[in-house]
Amino acid sequence: MSIRTTDELISPLVNEPELANVIFKIGKDGVPMFAHKLILSVSNLFFKKLFYSQISNKTNLDKIKVIRIPDIEPKAFKPVLDFIYTRHTELNLEIIWSIFDVCDRFEMDEFREFSLNFLENSLEINQLFHYYEESLYDQHPEIGKRLLKLIEQNSQKLFSRKKCLNTLQQTTILQILKSKKLQIKEYDLVKRIKERAEFLLYQKEQRKREAKNKNEKEKEKEKEQENDHENEKDKEKRNEKEKEKEKEKEKEKEKENKDKQTKKASHTRNGHYHKKRIKYTFPEQRNNQEMNDKNKTSQEQPKSFNYREIRSCVGKLLDQIDLKLLSNAELEQLVKTNLFSKQQMRRSLKKIKNKNQKKRDQRCKTKEDLQILFITNETKEARIENILESLKSSGIRNISVLHADKETPFLKTLKKYDALFLFSTPRGNFQDPVWLGDEISKYVNDGGGIVICAYACLVERKIKSKFSYALEGKISGKKFLPMKKGHFFSGKNGTTRCDLGKIFLPNHPTISQVKCFDGGIHSHRINTKFVPGGVDSKIIAQWSDGNPLICYKRKHKQNGIVLVLNFNPVSERKFLGDKGGISGSWSILSNGNKILSNAIQFVATN
C-alpha cells in the first residue's frame, strides 16, 4: 500500500465547500470560492493576522467568514488558491498582471517569485518590449528589472528586427537606452530611431489628410444644402407666377396683348434662372475632381522629412547616441539623412577626412611585425612569462624585456620600438624612476605610445620605504596620465571583488571580443578618478565599483597615447616561489588577456 503525500491529501480540499469556513466572492458577479482558515493562515501571514488577531473572539473563529473581492476576476484568483494548498499551479500570460495585483494585496512573496519565473520562461523575444512597457505603467518595479535583464541578454536579436520601436512610447525607450549592459551597435540604434521618426511623421500626415477630407466633405454638404434651398425658392417663385398667369387668363379678352407680354417676360425669367444654376454647379464638380487627383498623387509619392520635423519626434532619443562610436563608413551613410544637424556632422566627419591616413598607418605594420618593449622591475621570471603569454595571445611575436631595476633606457633605445609596456610591482625597485619617467615622456612627445599598469600610478608613501615602484618624472604629471595617482585598494576574503562595470565605448578596439572581466578574489586596483584633458582623452571602461579600468590620453595631435590599465596584469595562477599564488590577479576564466593584447595593439597602431 502506497503512502500518500501531503499534496495528495490537501489537493482535494481546493475550492471544496465541505468543512470550509471562508467564502471568497470574486468579481462583479460574486462567484463563490471556498477555503479554510487554518490552511490560509499557515501559508500566509496576511491571512493569519486577518483571522487570528487579538480583537477577534473565539466565537467569531468558528463562524464562516465572507470576503468580497469585486475587482479581481475568478480566473486570476483560482491559481492563488491552488498555490496556497499545493504549492504549484498553472498560469497564463493573459492573467499575469492581475495575479501580481493579488500578490501585492495579500503579501504573497513566494507566489510572486513563482509567477516571475513563469513570466521569464514563457515570454518570447518579440513580447519583451511590450511587457516591459506594461510593467512600467502598472508600477511593478521588480518585474521591470527582471524583464530589463532579459532585454539586455537578447538586445542584439531585439534591435535587429525592423520597426521594433515604432509601437513603444518614448519614456520606455529612454529607460531601455539608459541601461549600461546593452550589446548593440550605435548604427543599429540610429536605424531603429529613424524608422520610428518616419512612422510618427507619416501618422501625423495621415491625420492632417483625414481632417482636410472631413472639412471638404462638410463644405460640400453645406453647398449642397444652399443649392437645395435656392432651388426651393425658385420653385416657390414659379408657382406664384403660374397663379398670376391663371388670374390673367380669367380676365377679359380685351387685354390679350397685355397677357402675351406677361407670358414672354415669364419665359425669359425662367431661362435666366436656369442658366444661373448651371453655371454655379459645373465648376464645383471640376474642382472636386482636381482635389481628389492631387490627394492620390501625394499619397503615392513618399515624402522626405526635414531635420526639424525629425527632431520634434525623436530628438531625445537621438541625444542618447554618441557619434564618436560610429565608424567612418557609417558616418558617410548618415550624411544624406536629416537626423543630425550640420555642426554635429562636421565634427564627426573630421574622422572621415583622416580615414586614408589611419588606414595607411594600420597597413604599415601587422601584428607580427610590431616591435614591443616590456619594461618592468619584477624579479620573478614566472610573473613576467605570464604577462608575455597574455600579450602574445593575439599574434604579437617580437617582445623584448628590459629590467628597469638594473638599467634605465635612453630615448634612442626606446625609439626602436613601436610601443612600450610598463609593469611595476610593489616589491620591486626602479634604478632611477625620475630618469625613466623623463625619457618615456620624450618618447610619447615624439609620437610613441605606452601602456602603463596599475602599480606604477600609486601615490608615494609618506613613510619612506626601501621600494621605489611608483613612476616619477614628467610622465607622471596630469598632462600625460589620464587618471590621478591614488592609493592601493584591495579586499580581504573577497569582500571587494570586482568585475567589468560600465563600458563607455563599446566599439573601441581595446575591448573587442571582451565579454567579461573578473579581477579575482582581491581585485587589486587603485582608488582614483579619470582626468580629462589634451586633444583626445577618454575613459573606455570602468570597474563595477566606479573606478576607471581602461582610459587613455593624447596631449597633442602629434603626440602618442598614454593608456592606463587599472589592474594587475598577472593572471590567476600559482607561480614558482609564491606562497599564496593568486593574490590580486585576474581570473583566467575572464578575458584579461584580450584586454592586454588589444591595448598594446591600439597604442602601437595609433
Higher pLDDT, 446 or 337: 446
Find out whether 554 and 532 touch, Cβ atoms under 8 Å: no
pLDDT tens for each residue of 226-274: 777 777 777 777 777 777 777 777 777 666 666 666 555 555 545 444 4
Q: Is it the case that residue 288 has pLDDT exceeding 60?
A: no
Q: Among 380-394, 518-532, 541-555, 563-577, where is mean pLDDT lowest? A: 563-577
Region 545-564: what's the mean pLDDT? Answer: 87
- Compute CA distances 354 → 349, 350, 361, 536, whole Å: 9, 7, 11, 15
Supply the pLDDT for residue 261: 64
Please state the domain extents for the chain: 1-96, 366-605
Torsional class of 483: left (φ above 0), alpha (ψ -120 to 50), beta (otherwise)? beta
Which pTM was predicted? 0.45
Range among 38-52, 331-345, 542-556 with highest mean pLDDT value: 542-556
Q: Among 12-21, 303-312, 443-452, 518-527, where is mean pLDDT lowest? A: 303-312
Q: What percent of the chain has pLDDT over 90?
A: 7
CA distance 194 to 199: 9
CA distance 303 to 204: 13
pLDDT tens for each residue of 81-101: 888 888 888 888 888 888 888
Supply the pLDDT for residue 283: 46
Higher pLDDT, 256 or 563: 563
Q: What letters, b where the CB count within 10 A reaches 16 and e where it falls short, cover 195-215?
A: bbbbebbeeeeeeeeeeeeee
pLDDT tens for each residue of 50-69: 877 644 455 555 678 888 88
**CATH no., domain 366-605:** 3.40.50.880
Nearest C-alpha neighbor of 266 from the set 249, 284, 287, 283? 249
Exposure of 278 by Cβ count < 10 A (0-12 exposed, 13-18 middle, 19+ buried)?
A: exposed
3-state DSSP assignment of residue 527? strand
Q: Among 3-12, 374-383, 396-405, where is mean pLDDT lowest? A: 3-12
Region 273-300: what's the mean pLDDT? Answer: 46
368's CB contacts (< 8 A; 6+ apart) are 395, 396, 397, 398
Find out whether 313 and 201 touch, Cβ atoms under 8 Å: yes
CA distance 470 to 485: 9
Supply the pLDDT for residue 265: 56
Supply the pLDDT for residue 291: 53
Supply the pLDDT for residue 44: 82
Range among 270-284, 455-469, 591-605 with highest mean pLDDT value: 591-605
Where do we find the cell 499575469?
A: 96
Q: Is it the case that residue 4 has pLDDT exceeding 80?
A: no
Q: What percent of the chain has pLDDT over 70?
A: 74
Q: Do domains 1-96 and 366-605 have the same CATH topology?
A: no
Q: Is it the case that residue 439 has pLDDT exceeding 70?
A: yes
Region 175-200: what's the mean pLDDT? Answer: 79
Confidence of residue 552 (pLDDT cuts 50, 70, 90): very high
Q: Is it the case that residue 360 has pLDDT exceeding 60?
A: no
pLDDT tens for each residue of 416-433: 888 999 998 887 888 888
Find out whether 544 and 499 touch, Cβ atoms under 8 Å: yes
The helix, strand and coil proportions of the chain, stated in percent and rounded to the nearest 5, come to 50, 15, 35
Class at the top of the CATH hierarchy for domain 1-96: alpha beta
